[in-house]
Amino acid sequence: PLSTDACATAIGELDITSLPLETRFPPFPLRQYGGFWLLEKFLQGVPAVHSVFEPRSSDILLASFPKCGTTWLKALAFATRNRAEHPLRGLDHPLRRRNPHDIVQYLELQHAQSMGHVVAALPSPRVLSTHLPYSLLPRRITTEESACRIVYICRDPKDAFVSSWFFTKKTVAAAAARARTGEEPPPYMFEEAFELFCDGICVSGPQWRHVLGYWEASRRQPEKVLFLRYEEMLQNPESNVKKLAEFMGCAFSVEEEATGVVQDIVELCSLESLKNMDVNKSGSHGPLAHESFFRKGVAGDWSNHITPAMAERLDKIVEDALQGSGFTF
Ligand code: A3P
């Protein structure tokens, strides 16, 4: 992958149409840039993120590889950061009325759609999100001088793959139904998708390289980059929410802890709670149905779908790629 500096320099002159194209990952064309396969639609916003996005010291940027718990992190960070303005038990809490992806927007998508005007108009403190790898973030965000903070969520690659398989299959079927041609959607085979994932050909892939970039950044600048693990959050959501609040500069008071505010956040943002909200049972975020963001929400579901031989193969690829880095899943 290119270094952050090299990417930042090159990105101003980026001609997306000249980049390697991959269309076997339906229904989203991917382009390869800086060592990663990125959604073409998101990549279109990257030059503007570099040229016009002005980070604020109060910004929180939620970063993730897709299907690793982005939706959950968006809900938790928003509910935690805005708990004074939006009491958690309030029936009109934004999370009861809007999908987390409509509340916390993708930086690169917003810049592709509106040259960042929507993001610039948001009041502080902003909670934003990105699927960009660390090396493609503008220096204005990553530099020590910028006080904006990054929260990353990491997940076992095998679960990330299985989650993305179900999500993509659903999205492909929904797109075909919308097109109303009566034709079957193109076949999207599990084994083929797995091969592509192993080759790093998936949204923001390779997944392990995406994770490594943020993990290394969190080691270099722990006060700037918080590295969370989906599996640990499932095991102990309350301590992770406290960690998140502290990192975002809005730690819970003794009184808040005593009155169960942390539990209220965990409860409001749980899979069951969000999944059963009317807003998440219908409607869509662009081409993606709200309900498709909520499935099982467990660790280790891969073992129900991937053979031991496939798991061993992916584990070996990941292990080789991470050798010497000090990071393990
Ligand atoms: P599974 O498909 O394994 O169930 P993303 O939000 O990055 O798209 O990730 C989606 C994954 O997170 C899905 O995993 C989904 O079920 C899970 N998820 C969504 N909301 C969640 C929540 N509130 N708590 C825990 N997991 C959640």
274's tokens: 């969000």
CA of 230 to the centre of ligand 1 (A): 9
What is the per-residue pLDDT for 17? 92
**Bridge partners for 170 per DSSP:** none
Classify the complex by whether its ipTM is higher than 0.85, answering yes or no.
yes
**pLDDT at residue number 10:** 67
d(CA 252, CA 143): 28
Minimum-distance ligand 1 atom for the alpha carbon of 66 = 7
Alpha carbon distance 158, 178 (integer Å): 30
Neighbours of 111 (CB within 10 A): 25
Question: How many residues belong to the chain?
Answer: 329
Give yes or no: 131 in active site.
yes
Alpha-carbon distance of 232 to 89, in angstroms, equals 26
Q: Where are the beta strands (DSSP E) in the chain?
A: 21-22, 30-33, 36-39, 60-64, 127-130, 149-154, 225-229, 284-285, 288-289
Half-sphere exposure of 313 (CA within 13 A, CB side): 12
Q: What are phi and psi of 189, to 5 degrees?
A: -85, 140
The secondary element (H helix, E strand) that includes residue 237 is helix 237-247
Planar angle of CA 74, 131, 166, nearest 5 degrees: 80
Residue 72 Cβ contacting ligand 1 at under 6 Å: yes
For the stretch 54-112, pLDDT in tens is: 999 999 999 999 999 999 999 999 999 999 999 999 899 999 999 999 999 999 999 99
**How many CB atoms are located within 10 Å of the residue 215 CB?**
21
pLDDT computed for residue 211 by the predictor: 98
Q: Are 61 and 149 in contact (CB under 8 A)?
A: yes
**pTM reported for the whole predicted model:** 0.95
Ligand 1 pocket test, pick from 163, 203, 234 with the greatest ligand atom count within 8 Å of Cβ, gives 163
pLDDT at residue 21, as a whole number: 96
Q: Which residue among 93, 101, 131, 210 is the active-site one?
A: 131
Low-confidence ranges of the chain (pLDDT < 70): 1-10, 12, 184-187
Q: Cβ(22) to ligand 1 under 6 A?
A: no
Among 18, 43, 16, 40, which residue's Cα sits nearest to residue 27? 40
